Structure 1
């Protein structure tokens, strides 16, 4: 039997649908909780309505926020769609709407990029194509013909693979000198807990930072494989719970730990999920009349799955196309599962200048950006360039007044004086004020105008 036949046999072997049903309910509940949390914290207004400028992704500058309080609409859609996913009601429509609404919001501003937001977009996209409504759902209640108790292996495998990608690439990213040889930035972060009673001195010890650094690297690289092995799965999951709760207690990491704790349950067999699903079914007085599914090998499905897996493997490695230190220039940093890997802070001062007289005004960043946008922009080259281009367009064909003199700006220069510190290094010059950022193109090419990391 050749590789293609083995691959097809693996993807289409018959398995229980129960883990997929459990995942639908669990992930739908997480979607609902996260959306309600976002709304209750007032983040829609703070992040998307109030700021006059948003940092769009390259190629997606056409994605704009809805006007005013209409911006709440996609979040209302997400709440309704999450309920649809949990209940298995209008499942394809619910998953599609959630994916579109969530991804739309995430594309509005890269300032708010988080790895688990990217993960949610991917998982909600994957769910569109999975038969997760074929049991214990309102759709199955209304349409008995879709009921199944078995499915091909590929839907469950696809979710397991996506989780494995998150962990493995997070581990690969930790294989760097700062993380393993200097225990940075953990050594700095743990100093913040020095004053805690009982454990403060312990957490602030250098050796603890090194232990955490090396263990977290080993954990990320191996945990998907331990979860996949029935002999090590239970112990591995204990480590999953302890690891993620510890990171949640120590660091401002949002709901990511809970997403991973509950999502990794997809690695457990049907017998595990049946226990709690049966309790839930009794509670809601649910009866299932299901039948085995009929599965035939599909070349189209195999091709699409293979293509998706290859893309997911290649995208995190795109940073290899760029020279210099990845953490410094951040080209290829996003969408590569680099979770809490560095402590990078910047301070950026922008100037709009007349090209002839070189008279300039200093820009107050907070006039256009929120505190979080300023924090992210001040250390990320593509966002520095975007903001400079925004200022150039805003001040084009305007008049500046310097005492009794007036200067008309037909094509202003925009420069920036930027200093950045990375993982405890001294502040270093990041962008020189001599660089006219209006002359630099916003594209995927290496940004040579970024000054090199000195140490």
Structure 2
């Protein structure tokens, strides 16, 4: 085991990945300002819907979040250059984690993956070559790294792609109705808009998506299919970037190939002036047991979290319980109708609560369809009324439509949602049972 995990291998792939990753995360930070994402998600809303349990994480007041993202982008550039690498990578990881947890109206699995990769990179010796640290610190430069670094990275992305493939194996994806639904909004696309409306394209997206996610990592691992895997990856992710506009994730996914190609190939293609590291050297770190324990626990969570919805009552597609942190990407469309009712406990008077003016457009979409948003909004309404001296119960009338199905009552209208406790790993009985064939027309 020591020989397998701690044998020294060439670090060309990791060094090149650090440069690409640093560039992409800096683009993510600066791009969030340029595209208006920071303004729309963190500055304009009166409040954010944070991950439950992280209420202490709130956006900075005024223009604070703009400065926050500028600083984060600067740390990304430092990562790319390999300057003060550990500190800059840790700073970016911490700041991005706070952004991720302080809001979920703009939830994206790719944001979650980026958070995980950022923290992984803190522990990777990615600045030993092609970095300012290696240039300026005496005797710091190295051409090797322990094998476990490559293994941890590959294991993580393998988990991501495998679960993404498995999650698509449900009826409305397999009959291509969900891809067809997604493509309706792409009709105006230049050159390919009409093509994307074709039935065979919908089936292609459905089954190529499943197959690609399932086999791409094995194809990369086998030397004979590595070039084929890279070509498939290039086409697949560029297509996703153009059609779905999912930020830096497609380009990050293309760059994953750096961990699979041989150092000889990378050195030749990038015209690097360095030797290929070849040695049987094994260096066992002082805190070997601690490191193995930490990563073992980490991967147990990574394997277990996406499975948790199987142990929660009802269908995750209906309840949303266990959906996040499970690599369930681009799977469904949800729309809803929601009314909040506030009942004064002293007088028994019940009134329709005007919650819409309090929310942004993105928040409205989520609060009408997702139970944790509904619950959090009920808590906020109760607290706002308490500040006025009113002790109230909060009820909801809520209907939800999944994919191209019909609207069905989602929340029990007789339950005071504001009095309920939230549990991350159990079913909430105020979410009504899923109707039969609720996702079909």
Q: Does 1:453 align with 2:434?
A: yes
* Structure 1 residues not aligned, in runs of 5+: 282-286, 399-408
Aligned positions, number: 432
**Equivalence for 1:147:** 141
Q: Does 1:190 align with 2:190?
A: no
**Equivalence for 2:351:** 361
Q: Aligned-residue CA RMSD in angstroms?
A: 2.4
**Equivalence for 2:323:** 333
The superposition leaves residues 279-314 of structure 1 with CA deviations (integer Å, 9 ceiling, x where unpaired) of: 6x7xxxxx9999988622633333333222222111
Relative to structure 2, which stretch is displaced further, 207-216 or 341-350? 207-216
Q: TM-score, normalised by structure 1?
A: 0.89
Shift of 1:365: 3.0
**Equivalence for 1:260:** 253
State whether residues 10 and 276 of structure 2, in contact with CA within 8 Å, keep that contact through their aligned partners in structure 1.
no
Corresponding residue to 2:283 among 271, 281, 295: 295
Shift of 1:155: 1.1
Equivalent-residue separation in structure 2 for 1:378 and 1:256 (angstroms): 28
State whether residues 378 and 418 of structure 1, in contact with CA within 8 Å, keep that contact through their aligned partners in structure 2.
yes
Equivalent-residue separation in structure 1 for 2:262 and 2:402 (angstroms): 44
Corresponding residue to 2:263 among 270, 276, 293: 270
Equivalent-residue separation in structure 2 for 1:99 and 1:197 (angstroms): 37
**Equivalence for 2:242:** 249
Equivalent-residue separation in structure 2 for 1:54 and 1:219 (angstroms): 36
Relative to structure 2, which stretch is displaced further, 250-259 or 171-180? 250-259
Corresponding residue to 1:435 among 408, 415, 419: 415
State whether residues 18 and 149 of structure 1, in contact with CA within 8 Å, keep that contact through their aligned partners in structure 2.
yes
Aligned CA distance change for structure 1 residues 363 and 123 (closer, same or farther; 3 Å): same
The superposition leaves residues 66-98 of structure 1 with CA deviations (integer Å, 9 ceiling, x where unpaired) of: 222222233122112111111110011011100
Shift of 1:201: 5.6
Relative to structure 2, which stretch is displaced further, 131-140 or 38-47? 38-47
The superposition leaves residues 320-369 of structure 1 with CA deviations (integer Å, 9 ceiling, x where unpaired) of: 22011101111111111111011111122212222354433333333211
* Structure 2 residues not aligned, in runs of 5+: none
Equivalent-residue separation in structure 1 for 2:188 and 2:34 (angstroms): 32
**Equivalence for 2:402:** 422
Shift of 1:274: 1.5
Equivalent-residue separation in structure 2 for 1:73 and 1:198 (angstroms): 39
Relative to structure 2, which stretch is displaced further, 182-191 or 11-20? 182-191
Corresponding residue to 1:230 among 219, 223, 227: 223
Q: TM-score, normalised by structure 2?
A: 0.91
State whether residues 148 and 291 of structure 1, in contact with CA within 8 Å, keep that contact through their aligned partners in structure 2.
no
Aligned CA distance change for structure 1 residues 195 and 55 (closer, same or farther; 3 Å): closer
Secondary structure class of the residue paired with 1:231: helix
State whether residues 103 and 121 of structure 1, in contact with CA within 8 Å, keep that contact through their aligned partners in structure 2.
yes
Equivalent-residue separation in structure 1 for 2:284 and 2:9 (angstroms): 14
Corresponding residue to 1:16 among 10, 28, 33: 10
Corresponding residue to 1:107 among 72, 96, 101: 101
State whether residues 3 and 282 of structure 2, in contact with CA within 8 Å, keep that contact through their aligned partners in structure 1.
no
Aligned CA distance change for structure 1 residues 41 and 199 (closer, same or farther; 3 Å): closer
**Equivalence for 1:205:** 198
